[in-house]
Amino acid sequence: MIFGSLRTLGFRNLADAETNTQGKDVFLVGENGQGKTNFLEAVYFCSYASSFRGVSDREVVREGEQYSAVAAHFAGSGDRNRSSDKECMLYDQVRVTYEHQKKTVYLDGKRIEDRRDLLGVAPSIVFCHEDMEFVTGSPERRRWFFDQTLGLADPGYLEDLRKYRRVLKTRNTLLKTGADPPRGTSLRPMLDALDPQLAFYGLKLMEKRQEASVGFSAIFGTLYEQVTGLDKLGLRYVPSWKALTLEGIQGFLEEHRERDGLSGLTLSGPHRDRYLFIRREAEFAGNASTGQRRLLALLLRVAQARRFSALTGKYPVLLLDDVLLELDAEKRRKFLEALPEYGQAFFTFLPDEPYHRYRKPGTLVYQVSQGLLSSV
């Protein structure tokens, strides 16, 4: 599925307008602060009804406005077994509105309650500067990336993750009561009831993460070697719980209840899992150069897209936000050669970048100035 057109209303600094995007490649050219990234964000909003910037829904509403909306029509299928060239008619629509502090999502004119229903429509993968956090940031950010990677191809994983987090939240609320539970109650029976649920959903997450990390490591390691020449780079999944059975995990949780109670938090579990980049049995990211880290972050997204296509048979929409700007000419060439197959790609460029070199027949080029897109 590719975006045939995108309409924005009250969305950040973008003009209230409908833009033709019915091309495999769409270039957005303009100075910083003119709306290029905002347009990518609007596309992403139609894929997932959320921002890739990690901001609240209210923050995408244009300053001084109370209402915001983005809507997309789609063309083609994005399925590797079907040709979008044979399907040029626009169909299907996603619309996401925000009004009175409430977000509403429509698919084909029908309101949907769960954003997971959007996952199979026009999945987008964004490449942006903030991806460096997956390499140099906290373990939480790296977990977030791999949770997203698994969820793109397996909505059931996201449901297990939701259930785990709900149980975890309830358990932490109980632990925070500490040694002073409400009168007439005891924490132990309640924890006895919660811990099997936490263990059950946690173990399901661990099993899927372990399996996915092996497959992802194979894709990513080969890709990184092809682009950089550095071999034997892989991904290692390090679960917080060492036990691999329900009984073992429940026993561990009970054994460490006092410690958790003193801290008021559950100090172990999938929410504390780690992912490490390992080369020759040593942690790689901490010793890599800035250039290597930047390329590592970009190739993580390439591997994510390749894994998604391998598992689903669909090609994603790529959103590439100034990703070529920080690469030298040789790394640009190798990165572009390494890009996965895609249904559609949106690139942003500064005016003085050599974007004409990358233009193909049929590429749509828009000049972006003060939120307005003008065809070039």
What pLDDT score does 185 carry? Answer: 58
Does residue 77 have a pLDDT over 60?
no
- Cα separation, 304 vs 249, whole angstroms: 30
Does residue 342 have a pLDDT over 90?
yes
User: What is the identity of the amino acid at 230?
Assistant: L
Q: What DSSP state is assigned to residue 264?
A: T
Does residue 326 have a pLDDT over 90?
no
Q: What is the pLDDT of residues 9-55, one digit of tens each?
A: 999 999 999 999 999 999 999 999 999 999 999 999 999 999 999 89
What pLDDT score does 119 carry? Answer: 82
What pLDDT score does 79 carry? Answer: 53
- Cα separation, 372 vs 376, whole angstroms: 13
Beta bridge partners of residue 237, listed in sequence order: 275
Beta bridge partners of residue 278, listed in sequence order: 234, 283
What average pLDDT does this structure show over 331-337? 89
User: What is the identity of the amino acid at 316?
Assistant: P
What average pLDDT does this structure show over 300-315? 95
Does residue 221 have a pLDDT over 60?
yes
What pLDDT score does 81 carry? Answer: 46
